[in-house]
Structures are given as C-alpha cells and as structure tokens.
Amino acid sequence: MHFEYTIVESDFANAGTASSSIKKTLKQLNIDSYKIKCVVVAVYEAEVNAIAHAYGGTIYVDIDGEKIIVKIADKGPGIPDVALAMQEGYSTASPKVREMGFGAGMGLPNIKNNVDELDIKTQINVGTEITMTVKF
C-alpha cells in the first residue's frame, strides 16, 4: 500500500491529519496496537515539525506485511546541526509556534524513540527528508 499526504506551511489546524489516517489504516490491517501508537507518535511529530519549520512538503507512506516506511520530505531551511536538534528540549520554534503549544523540542527525540530505523538527510536552504521505519 502506498499513500501520500501534502503538508502545508503553518497549517496547524490540519496537524495530525496524516497520522490519524495512517492509524485508521493500520487498525484495519490488525497491526499490534503498541506498534500503531509508535507510528502515530512519530508521524505526528514529523508532521508538526514540517508545518512549524518548513515551507510545505509531502508525506510518503509505504506499508507491507512486515513494516511501515514513512518519508517526510519538506522544502525548508534545513537543520543546521542534527545532533543538537536530536537533544530533548532543543527548539528553534518561533514565539508564535510556542504560543500555540508547539516547539517544546521533543519532536525529533520522540520520533527516534518510537521507530526502529531513522534516517535524516538535510540540506541548508533546501529542505529535510526524514525516513522512519517501524517493523510489525
């Protein structure tokens, strides 16, 4: 199965749309509820990061009987220091984003803690591509 979702810059009203849709699909496939939770948390965090920090992008989802692979490709400023961004509490969120309750600096750490494999490719002033895999 393959799905795609569009991410719109600053569209916090629709944050979670992709993760909710993926959750419904995984439930229909009778995937273990713990694994579903892991996928939903990781995808939601990546979705919010792309909304808050990038200028739009796309979520690509591939599901087979053994795993789900989710790739989030955004057009944005890129991540200047991935190691720093992986530290809990580190955030580059704007004051506006923080006022909405986002930007606590837990996005990438939460993603890492909920997936089996994580790959981050980023280029300054071009964008970031995060690929995460959860095995069933």
Contacts of 113 (CB under 8 A, 6+ apart): none
Which pLDDT value is given to residue 38?
Answer: 98
Tokens, residue 16? 């979670």
pLDDT, tens only, 84-115 = 999 998 888 878 888 877 878 789 999 999 99
Query: pTM of the entire structure?
Result: 0.90
The CATH number, out of the four listed (3.20.20.140, 3.40.190.10, 3.40.50.1820, 3.30.565.10), of the domain defined by the range 2-135: 3.30.565.10
Contacts of 96 (CB under 8 A, 6+ apart): none
The full set of domain ranges for the chain reads: 2-135
